[in-house]
Amino acid sequence: MPFSFRILSLLVCAGVAISSLCACQPRANGEVLPAPQTQPSLDVAASGALPGPNTPATLYRANLCPTVMSLGENVADIARQHLGVRYRSGGASPKSGFDCSGFVYWVFARHGVSVPRDSVRQSRAGEEVAKGDLLPGDIIIFRIANTPNGRHSAIYLGDGSFIHSPSAGSSVRIERLDDDYWRRHYMTARRVLEAPPCDLDLYASPELADSQTLIDEITRSSAR
């Protein structure tokens, strides 16, 4: 092949290569297309979303499980609803009236918890609780000599107060545990409430574990 023809062939190839390279560059004043964006992966821990079948997630425990405190407050609320119901010996209902142990028995029954009917057995029910560790819903037992069995039972409400059905001619009322009379006759306290097992382990972010968003999600899930 003549030398001049080789030179010409090389120049032609070089021109084709240069035009090809230039074709990959944006033209002046031409449209510049954005770089392709990759679809971000779902970060469940950051978003707080519940996972789908193909979504990895971290398991967090929601702080919505019942506690002895919350259960006891429910018991206390039931008891307060019957302030003013008259005392009646042997009574164990709002219609007939309450004696002291009948009141305790009926309130816990309304909450779905079975306790003994008489104050002697109520003084042995559940577990003993130190006076300084009382929680709402604990049963308080007083030693009172002029009662039929020497025991008087009540329900602790919290903040040093308790509710009971005291004696003939009176009605259900709230009193203070630090009043001199009740302080001197205090005998023991019993805890019959237990927090049930809780299965509210849910996929969610820790920020949402206590939020209304998570509560709404539980509500929606239970309605399905």
Q: Which of 24, 65, 100, 185 is catalytic?
A: 100
Residue 157: CB atoms within 10 A of its CB come to 24
- Set 82, 152, 185, 198: catalytic member: 152
Would you call 82 a catalytic residue per the annotation? no
Q: Which residues contact 156 (CB under 8 A, 6 or more apart)?
A: 72, 76, 134, 135, 136, 137, 138, 139, 140, 162, 177, 189
Q: Does the annotation mark 22 as catalytic?
A: no
CA 198 to chain centre: 9
Q: Is residue 185 flagged as an active site residue?
A: no
What is the spatial distance between Cα 10 and Cα 5, in angstroms, rounded to a whole number? 9
Query: What SS3 class is residue 162?
Result: strand
- The residue annotated as part of the active site, out of 24, 164, 185, 198, is 164
Residues labelled as active-site residues: 100, 152, 164
